[in-house]
Structure 1
Amino acid sequence: MQRLDSLILKNYKEEMFDYEVYRKLARIEKDDKLRRTLTKLSEMERSHSEFWKEIADKRGLRTKGLSFVDKLKIGFYSIIRRLLGTNLTIMLLEAGEEDDVEKYKKLAEMKEFEEEKSRLESIMLDEAVHEKVLGNVEAKNVGDFVYGISDGLVEVLAAVSGLSGAISSPIFVAVGGLIIGASGTLSMSIGAYLSTKSEKDVKEQERKKLELEKIVDQRQIELKLINFFTELGINRNIAKKVSPSLVDVAEDILYPKVKDNPIKSALITGASYITGAIIPVIPYIVGLSGLAGVISSYVID
């Protein structure tokens, strides 16, 4: 019984925390569309917290507001948003959370919540939409940077390690490493551009096709939404009930718009790759050669 009470209060607090975070992020967001999205998410989380408060009140449990530490965390996310942008902030926020869809699925299966089963399944659907919407706010540029710098480090480190065994002059090893780094930068940049452009074109085609389907046969769109939510583990009857109301935004759920700029992606990948490529070359630029140069390259990597 005590464990169940703690679970109710914990869920109430988590939903309240998410509500306040998204509300705060919405207030400082300059992009109109993203601000509306964050506002909708905050309202969704508020309704979830009200659900848990109702259950707590029924059981005579006293709900508390957010603690000082929670408010500090919200302030931290606000600072991160101003410094690093919304994409990274949401990525950090979601990384610290458990899978809410799975959580509510398990709660709906608990006999203690048999009376609230329908409402819990409805919240589970909200969370599925929530996760899909947040999937539109991707931190792909971060991924481009990480993969670029990682590839640059590994490939050029391997190259200079081999060159140092065959060439005694450290400056020639450094030049060789930089040439390999430059060619790798060009290759990675082109790859990132084509990959992002291709993904964007495919998604746009799918979205246009879906928009035409909405005009011709809305029932088909409803079926796609039902199947999508069912695959996420949501009760089919619940999915059937809410899918008609989501037809207007079906393309955002089924085929999220790719916001990444192919040129920007290419530049970030190229810049990060050459940055990674320069690091293992530094020991040879300062005059180290042979085994000392190899060891130094591995150490600074």
Structure 2
Amino acid sequence: MVEETGIEPTRQQISRWRKHLADERAEGAVYRELARKKTGEEREILMGIAEAETRHEEYWRARLGEHVGLPRQASPSTRLMAWMAKRFGSVFVLALLQSAESRNNYIKDADASEQMIADEAIHAEVVRGLAARGRAKMSGDFRAAIFGANDGLVSNLALVLGMVGTGASSHVVLITGLTGLLAGALSMAAGEYVSVSSQQELLDANRPDPHTQESVPKLDMEENELELVYRARGMSADDARAKAQDVFEHIQAGANDWNKSDLERSAVEDIEEPGGSGMSAAISSFFCFAVGAVIPVVPYVFGASGTSAAIIASVTVGIALLMTGAIVGLLSGVAPGKRALRQLLIGFGAAGVTFLLGTLFGVSAG
């Protein structure tokens, strides 16, 4: 600190420290805002991080001393998180915070203390855990919606541009696009229904028969065959023997509340519980694919044709791809810009290849 070292900070240091101060103040406010909407353990965890940010704020305030100056704005990304924390769900904000904390800007700053660098590293893991909780609570319907819309955008743009490449009339392109929309949406819905339903059926198949659970108290306790059930479910011989013995001790003691759910937990713990029903996932996937797939044909619906219609379709789909890519990036806890650009390149790459193939087939047919 200035008072301790007697060294006057440079202009660059003052500017950088003020920026750190503003960011720490804003990040603390974000965590407190998120905590305000939570209860119990999650609220305590978020308030704990907020208190740590306050300590960091005081560190930079002390280093600045008389140079602290008027409060300045935080970085644009931090202000965006503060804005989102007040208006949207915590999953997206926590995902953004996970990405921000992982960058740990203090590593390259010689003026930051080792403790602060360590704090930020731990904060990244804490936020990662909280974000994972939020992502786990999100239903399969949301996942189906995002990926359904993205598939609709890419596949129908590729189909439309492929037809444009053949030299087909605008009417033919429109009919082809609408047909692709309906066929793709039905295919996505059917696939999602089969996927979620099959996963649920697999989960049900691994659950113990209720009659088996009712038979446990009637087993020969000397033979202890219950041990084999736990071993079949993956326990070691010693653990299975101890677990079975514990169950029998409860039964012998006359307890009727032995933990029957142990059998079920051991049966299903390695299988991911699907979110939502097969039908709800199918309906969500159908409509979201249709919403994405309709965008490339909108110009043709309103009478556009030729190159102008193809350009309008490509631009609108490009914007939509950037949005879906950014959402996927947010939920993944990585930089949304990179995921948005990746989504755009993949989508346009597929559409470009299809357009070239359509052009080649159109020339050959001619």
TM-score of the superposed pair, with normalisation by structure 2: 0.46
Structure 1 Cα separation of the partners of residues 118 and 197 of structure 2: 36
Identity of paired residues, percent? 21
Separation of aligned partners in 2, 1:65 and 1:197 = 61
Q: Measured at CA, do residues 23 and 39 of structure 1 come closer, stay the same or move farther in structure 2, by a change above 3 Å?
A: farther
Distance (Å, rounded) in 2 between the aligned partners of 1:133 and 1:180 = 40
Q: Which residue of 2 aligns with 1:273?
A: 289
Q: Which secondary structure does the structure 2 equivalent of 1:99 belong to? A: helix
Larger C-alpha radius of gyration, 1 or 2?
A: 2
Aligned to 2:128: 131
Q: Which runs of 5+ in 1 are unaligned?
A: 203-211, 217-256
Superposed displacement of residue 38, structure 1: 4.9
**Corresponding residue for 2:177?**
177
- In the other structure, the counterpart of 1:246 is none
Taking the aligned partners of 1:92 and 1:127, their CA distance within structure 2 comes to 11
* Inter-partner Cα distance in structure 1 for 2:189 and 2:276: 13
Task: Give the C-alpha shift of residue 261 in structure 1.
Answer: 4.2
- Is the Cα–Cα contact under 8 Å of residues 15 and 45 in structure 1 kept in the other structure? no
Say whether 1:99 aligns with 2:102. Answer: yes
Task: Please name the residue that 2:328 is paired with.
Answer: none
- Measure, in 1, the Cα distance between the counterparts of 2:118 and 2:62: 21
CA contact (8 A) 2:20 2:60 kept: no
> Which amino acid letter does the alignment assign opposite residue 40 of structure 1?
I
* 2:58 equivalent in structure 1: 53
Report the residue type matching 2:118 in the other structure: E
Q: Structure 1 residue 11 and structure 2 residue 20: aligned?
A: yes
Alpha-carbon offset, residue 297 of structure 1: 4.2
- Amino acid in the other structure paired with 2:62: D
Q: CA deviation at 1:276?
A: 2.0
Indicate if the aligned counterparts of 2:152 and 2:289 stay in contact, CA closer than 8 A.
Answer: yes
2:309 equivalent in structure 1: 296
CA-CA distance at 1:278 after TM superposition: 1.8
- Mapped to 2, the partners of 1:131 and 1:98 lie a distance apart of 9
CA distances 1:94-145 after superposition (whole Å, capped 9, x unpaired): 66x4634x434445xx4x56xx435642442233222342244348977755
Distance 1:86-1:275 versus aligned 2 partners, 3 A rule: same
Matched to 1:296, the amino acid is: A
Map Cα deviations across residues 240-266 of structure 1 (whole Å, 9 max, x no partner): xxxxxxxxxxxxxxxxx9995475665
CA distance in 1, matches of 2:154, 2:283: 20
- How many residues end up aligned between the 2 structures? 233
Partner amino acid, structure 2, of 1:21: V
Match of 1:157 in 2: 157
Once superposed, what is the RMSD of the aligned Cα atoms?
4.9
Once the two structures are superposed, residues 211-236 of structure 1 have per-residue CA deviations (whole angstroms, 9 ceiling, x without a partner) of x99xx8xxxxxxxxxxxxxxxxxxxx
Q: Does 1:85 align with 2:101?
A: no
Q: CA deviation at 1:25?
A: 2.9
* Structure 2 gap segments, 5+ residues each: 1-8, 204-234, 240-271, 315-366
Q: Tell me if the contact between 1:157 and 1:298 (Cα under 8 Å) persists in the aligned partners.
A: no
Equivalence map 1:137-286=2 (5 Å): 137-138=134-135, 145=145, 147-163=147-163, 165=166, 170=171, 173-189=173-189, 194=195, 261=276, 267-285=283-301
Counterpart Cα distance in 1 of 2:273 and 2:58: 38
More deviation, 264-273/122-131: 264-273
- Deviation, 1:274, is 0.7
Shift of 1:47: 1.9
Name the stretch that deviates more: 263-272 or 177-186: 263-272
Secondary structure of the 1:182 match is helix
Query: In structure 1, what residue type is equivalent to 2:25?
Result: M
| Whole-angstrom distance in 1 between the partners of 2:64 and 2:302 | 71
Query: 1:24 aligned to 2:28?
Result: no
Deviation, 1:63, is: 5.0
Q: Please, what TM-score do these two structures have when normalized by structure 1?
A: 0.54
1:44 shift after superposition = 1.3
Counterparts of 2:198 and 2:21, CA distance in 1:
42
Deviation at 1:183, TM superposition (A): 2.5
